[in-house]
Amino acid sequence: MIKYPKTYFNIRDTLDCGQVFRFKPYEKGFLSFSLGHCAYVFEEGENVIIDCDDETYWQKYFDLDEDYGAIVSRVMSCGAEKVVKACGEYKGIRILRQSEYEALISFIISQNNNIPRIKSCIEKVCAALGEKYTFGGVEYFGFPTIEQLSKGDLALFTSLGLGYRAEYLKRAAEDLASGKLDLNYLSGLDTASLKARLLAIKGVGNKVADCALLFGFHKTDSFPVDTWIEKIYHEDFNGTLTDRKKISEYFVGLFGEYSGLVQQYLFHAKRTGRL
């Protein structure tokens, strides 16, 4: 069991800000799932409690070795009014250190989709191909391994409600299984080189690539742009660009290595009506 001060760790905001899909409310907090792992995360007094199957795994997953107090101070010093406001409201958001593989597959499934449906599709894939586990009396399906995912055919993925994304998922699974797509190699690339390689994957556009970069490979100098971020750019930053790639580059130019966290502050604040 892990105990961590809650000042810079808000469970709900961290899980519900669009960076991850495999979690659900449970008792006093949430159950969080990653690969084949499970954690029960809840607040108790001034701390977050993580009751889990593997403390080392979840220590890394929730990025508990990073000093978010220092990061928040640096972000707040930028002087951008809207960023300071959003950061003040949601300083407990942490960028999770998800599996590169699970994040990439999840965001391939996520494109042009709403969050409830994304979560449903991912859980259906887990139930169809993943292994069943039990933690604390709760049964759940783990995220399928690359080998397990590669056994799914196009008909199966289509039957799970993935629509046109089924083809992209099947191709990605084949490339991962064959070694054509080597995540260990990719993780060693710089952000620009890695993004170029991700964009070469069938079905991966700028937004999916940026999400995989930030939420899977922990490239924090990435800034995913969706409808909410476009709205923020035009309404709160008085921007005139219309190309999402250029909007992303604009924000990375402003916030550099902290771009990803700024993106999450702004996105969540706008989506919840606090910006």
Q: Which residues are catalytic?
A: 207
Cα 180 to Cα 116, 173, 186: the distances in Å are 32, 10, 11
Task: Transcribe 212-257 into DSSP letters.
Answer: HHHHTS--SS-----HHHHHHHHHHS------HHHHHHHHHHHHGG
**Residue 264: Cβ within 10 Å count:** 25
How far, in whole angstroms, is CA 257 from its chain's centroid?
Answer: 17
The encoded tokens of residue 191 equal 């952000």
Q: Where are the alpha helices (DSSP H) in the chain?
A: 11-15, 55-61, 68-76, 81-89, 100-110, 115-129, 146-150, 154-159, 165-178, 183-186, 191-199, 206-215, 227-236, 244-255, 259-271
Nearest of 23, 16, 25, 4 to residue 93 by alpha carbon: 16
